[in-house]
Structure 1
Amino acid sequence: MNRPPVSPPLVLQTPGFAHYSLSWSPFHNSRLAVASAANYGLVGNGRLHLALIGPAPGVAPGFSLDKFYDTQDGLYDVAWSEIHENQLVTGSGDGSIKLWDVMLNDLPIRAWQEHTREVFSVDWSNISKDIFLSSSWDGTVKIWSPERPRSVSTLQAHMSCVYQALFSPHQPDIIASCSTDGTLKIFDLRSPAYTQGPNANAFTNPLSAAALTVPASGTELLSIDWNKYRPFVLASAGVDKMIRVWDCRMVKSNPDPNQQAVGGVCETQFVGHEYAVRKVQWSPHHPDLLASASYDMTCRVWSTTPSPNGTNLVYIHDSHTEFVVGCAWSLYEEGVLASCSWDCRVNVFHI
């Protein structure tokens, strides 16, 4: 059977602003949010772009900028609210977190300033839909409610930069994080270590006990993601150019009862990227498909089920001309993927 031709990607250009992250709306299949920064995020302003995919007059679907919001510092990540279709949260290089309403045209509706260094990731729980979390280069992960003036709780997740933290899509009290220390950690907020008595205060005394620590790499881990179909299966990637898939149910007993549990079995690993892998994300439609974005200027799709010729690589998108630092699967359309890059472009394409 002949393979159908691959149509060219839809492209959105935002001159002067390099992209760091993007997120599809969980309510509208045509709406994308993009977190961006001037001067590649090294210094200068940030910008939150809201893009729409829709029919252009008389021709094929178009890709257009709906509106944007300027910020005083670069934006590194963005996440849509799971409870309000017009709200989303961003993490910034100045340590601030802002909540936006797309029906308003200028300022955020709420802002928090607790992190002491860059906020590099934000994630909204799709189970407990009234909370979200943030992770920072200050080593902490904080849990927030949009209705509260300060964080609900703080985890001293790592002793160094936390590049990403994510709620489990299967259990509301499970959080995973990754760091410059090369470990992937899982936190269970139901653990006795997190039981807060009347005098406990996680705001001033951060919680630190991880349920499981996975030594996932000898170098920095830049990204993780939970498999949407298999609980406790995660993918990790980072500076060593490797993508690894972990089954974190395989826990090794630690002879020292005062130390955290260590475990995780590497089920498979994907080799092919030429430089550090900046982002991994499992498909919401297939349990075996994984997308990755890399500094080698490509976005790739992998399958944990090898093809007849023995390869796990499914697709390479190489239309970008700078570091590709973000990718995201469409939540509604199977096989549709978006990528964003330091070349100031967002691409949306079918694999």
Structure 2
Amino acid sequence: MQNQPTFWSAKRHGFAVSFSPYVPQRIALATSQHYGIAGCGTLFIIDDTPAGGVLLKSFDWSDGLFDVTWSESNENLLVTGGGDGSIQVWDSAQPTGPIKVLKEHEKEVYGVNWSQTRGEQLIVSASWDGTIKLWDLTHPSSLSTFSGHQHVVYCALWSPHIPNCFASASGDKTLRIWDTRKSFEARMVMPVCNSEVLTADWCKYNENIIVTGSVDSAVRGWDLRKPREPIFQLMGHTYAIRRVKCSPHVGSVVASCSYDFTVRTWDFNKQTQPLEVIEHHTEFVCGLDFNLHKPGQIVDCGWDEKMFVYTPKSLLPTAS
């Protein structure tokens, strides 16, 4: 594993990072000045090369950028969520941007996600104002607002299997499942733990399994067919879990990153202890993603201004 970062976002603290679904080496990095408390934000578009990260483009925004999602229909389009309550649409082929700004949320947008299911061109945004909004970028305003959470909403993400279905994680200690076709009330409300739920991700191989990460340092797995108790609980982090990601290549593999400065890999079918603990950051690790095109490859970013691209030993394709 490399010791030097693939990319250094000088004076910008990393909040989210995402591999392109189209170009195997391309990465989007969403950052903020002053740890997101004040100042502007910058979106970096980077290619990972054998010689390190190559900056292709950077775009500045007047407030912090907290999340980023790639378009599933156009390899050049991205959407970010901002500290001013807006979402920004960027075209990486354009010299400046954004090409569109949509502002309806009253507080920070902490999560954005582009639908992956065939035929949908929809985005959900999660905000500290306690709501989730549904967007179609061909419309000038949101299609729907989903209320019900009793605290800030940290993330909202589409099911990769079920059309019109998304999940949300909140400071009200719950995970909620929504169906955009039926009503604006959550289809399912799942109490997760006695602390804030900061992140979630859907299993890519089982439409009923979703994984959460929370302030109590636990990674938990849930089966929507029997949601009262977690089907697994993974312990090892020592501070809040900022993001969890399910592998697109191995159904039982999960990665997590935390305010304890580490990234950990897990196989919930084999053991409850981490497969590997990765310690190359010196500050909170906030962003994490798997590469769809390269089995086992991960990108992460943190408040230490570093972004790493690597394949953990535990996830090497030849590892048993």
TM-score (norm 1): 0.86
CA offsets per residue over residues 53-107 of structure 1, 9 Å max, x none?
Answer: 1243xxxxx2222111010000000000000110000000000111000011112
Match of 1:200 in 2: none
Match of 1:327 in 2: 288
Structure 1 consecutive aligned stretches of length 4 or more whose deviation exceeds 6 Å = none
> Aligned match of 2:164 in 156, 160, 173?
173
Distance 2:106 2:93 in 1: 30
CA offsets per residue over residues 295-328 of structure 1, 9 Å max, x none?
Answer: 000011011122xxx5531111100010001110
> Aligned match of 1:284 in 245, 248, 251?
248
Once the two structures are TM-superposed, the CA of residue 185 in structure 1 deviates from its matched residue by 0.6
Partner-residue secondary structure (3-state), 2:35: helix
Match of 1:133 in 2: 124
Distance 1:52 1:264 in 2: 43
CA offsets per residue over residues 217-268 of structure 1, 9 Å max, x none?
Answer: 1110000111011112111111101110011111xxxxxxxxxxxx443111
Distance 2:128 2:272 in 1: 36
Please tell me whether residue 144 in structure 1 is matched to residue 139 in structure 2.
no
2:6/2:48 contact within 8 Å kept: no
CA offsets per residue over residues 14-63 of structure 1, 9 Å max, x none?
Answer: 1100000011111100100011000000000100011101243xxxxx22
Partner-residue secondary structure (3-state), 1:266: coil
Unaligned runs of 5+ in 2: 313-320
Distance 1:113 1:294 in 2: 30
Distance 1:131 1:228 in 2: 19
Letter in 2 for 1:47: T
1:82/1:129 contact within 8 Å kept: no
Match of 1:164 in 2: 155
Letter in 2 for 1:163: Y
Match of 1:269 in 2: 233
Distance 2:25 2:188 in 1: 38
Distance 2:272 2:180 in 1: 39
Distance 1:81 1:157 in 2: 28
CA offsets per residue over residues 115-159 of structure 1, 9 Å max, x none?
Answer: 000000000001144111101011111111111100111111412
> Aligned match of 1:14 in 6, 9, 21?
9
Match of 1:214 in 2: 190
Report the more deviating stretch, 47-56 or 274-283: 47-56
Distance 2:173 2:95 in 1: 41
Alignment of 1:1-351 (within 5 A): 6=1, 8=3, 11-56=6-51, 62-127=52-117, 128-191=119-182, 194=183, 207=184, 209-250=185-226, 263-306=227-270, 310-351=271-312
2:285/2:300 contact within 8 Å kept: yes
1:224/1:280 contact within 8 Å kept: yes
Indicate the percent of aligned positions where both proteins have the same amino acid: 39
Letter in 2 for 1:333: K
Once the two structures are TM-superposed, the CA of residue 7 in structure 1 deviates from its matched residue by 5.1
RMSD: 1.3
Distance 2:222 2:167 in 1: 12
TM-score (norm 2): 0.94
Distance 2:58 2:128 in 1: 26
2:113/2:125 contact within 8 Å kept: yes
2:122/2:134 contact within 8 Å kept: yes
2:5/2:306 contact within 8 Å kept: no
1:168/1:176 contact within 8 Å kept: yes
Partner-residue secondary structure (3-state), 1:296: coil
Q: 1:268 to 1:311 in 2, by over 3 A?
A: closer
Once the two structures are TM-superposed, the CA of residue 8 in structure 1 deviates from its matched residue by 4.6
Distance 2:200 2:170 in 1: 10
Match of 2:318 in 1: none
1:228/1:282 contact within 8 Å kept: yes
Q: 1:337 to 1:132 in 2, by over 3 A?
A: same
